Amino acid sequence: MISGGGTGGHIYPALALIKRLQERQLLDAVMYVGTPKGLESRIVPAAGIPFETIELQGFRRRLTWDNVHTVTLFIQAVRRAKQMVRDFKPDIVIGTGGYVSSAIVYAAARAHVPTMIHEQNSIAGVTNKFLAHYVDKILIAFPDAAGQFKHQQQKIALVGNPRAQEVAGLQPNDRLSEFALSPDRSTVLVFGGSRGAAPINNAVIEAVPDFAGQSYQVLFVTGNAHYEAVTAKLAAIKVPGNVKVVPYIDNMPAILPDITLLVGRAGATSIAEITALGIPSILVPSPYVTHNHQTKNAQSMASTGAAVLLPESDLTGKSLLNAITVIMGDDDRQKKMHTATLALGHPQASDDIIAIMQDLIH
């Protein structure tokens, strides 16, 4: 039984772990527990995984009457979760973050079912901090996260992110040709996340004229919501032939082995993918996320030389172009960044988690 929701960063690691369990024929049955309105309610059933729901909401960060309702919902959710655990009889229950996982993991722990949580970021979420007191094992993707669980150090295992193992074995292919780009040319991928990021898009628009004549090519992914606005602005600019602008890329991981440099946010899933493949990166952390955890993620990367940290407050067309030029003009630096990035990766993350699961069950 597995639960995680709210954002793709909680959902996709869970799906990657399930996929690996299926590949190794270790899964007799699985149930994914989410909320009826969360992102997981669309993604998980579409992946063909049995899905059940619990009505729950997160706590507000300020004192409000909504939190009284949240407590009531949590109590009701735990009751339903206890019944779900009794009916499904899982060997183990795993939480991958998001408030929905609180009820099912807590209920399982109280029922003495083996439990674990997975924290994808350098800064732990509220739900995982709460559950850490009750679970048998705390899995982390960044070494820095260990400090968030000061009184549960004996439970911690550094395993990385299951998403990493999904992409680690990918090989270069011809996907760049789908975008009229050469598979034989160095490529910069600019990607502001699945929804896109306006500040990154605006900086790229400023830099576009200066990409002309460069030895590299640029694949600029705007995000569906921003595509029309971006193309409208670019209509007044002569876009060089080595720059391709697209709204979205299906199966993004498949194109990553052909990427020389990635410019993007510092979400946990993105970092898991680029460290698994050793892709040098310029990270522009989102300042709008809880506890500013993306900045901490990016700092962990930058401190080893694996990435360049470019704060959004310093992001302009000029600063972005300069950062790209420095890396793309220096083959030795690219190699060093590649090595440093690989060193942070966990290409066997799912298998390592499965080994811990088996120890807990047996």
Binding-site annotation: residue ranges for UDP-N-acetyl-alpha-D-glucosamine = 7-9, 121, 194, 249, 294
Segments in the chain forming alpha helices (H): 8-23, 40-46, 66-88, 100-110, 126-131, 162-168, 198-207, 227-234, 268-277, 293-302, 317-328, 331-344, 349-361
| DSSP-assigned letter for residue 257 | G
Q: In which order are the strands placed within the sheet that holds 137-140?
A: 51-53, 32-34, 2-3, 93-95, 115-119, 137-140, 156-158
Please name the residues in contact with 202: beta carbons below 8 A apart, sequence gap of 6 or more: 317
DSSP annotation string for 10-45: HHHHHHHHHHHHHHTT--S---EEE-SSSTHHHHHH
Count CA atoms closer than 13 A to 176's CA, side-chain side.
24
Per-residue burial over 89-104, b if 16 or more Cβ lie within 10 Å, else e, is: ebebbbbbbbbbbbbb
Q: How far apart are CA 174 and CA 255, in angstroms?
A: 8
Rounded CA-CA distance 289/130 in Å is 19
Q: Could you list the residues known to form a binding site, using ranges.
A: 7-9, 121, 194, 249, 294
Name the nearest CA neighbour of 23 among 165, 158, 161, 138.
Answer: 165
Q: Closest Cα to residue 31, out of 21, 127, 280?
A: 21
Buried b (16+ CB within 10 A) or exposed e, 37-50: ebbbbebbeeeebe
CA distance 292 to 73: 28
CB 253 within 8 A of CB 164: no
CA angle 341, 347, 348 (to 5 degrees): 150
What whole-number distance in Å separates Cα of residue 99 and Cα of residue 209?
A: 45
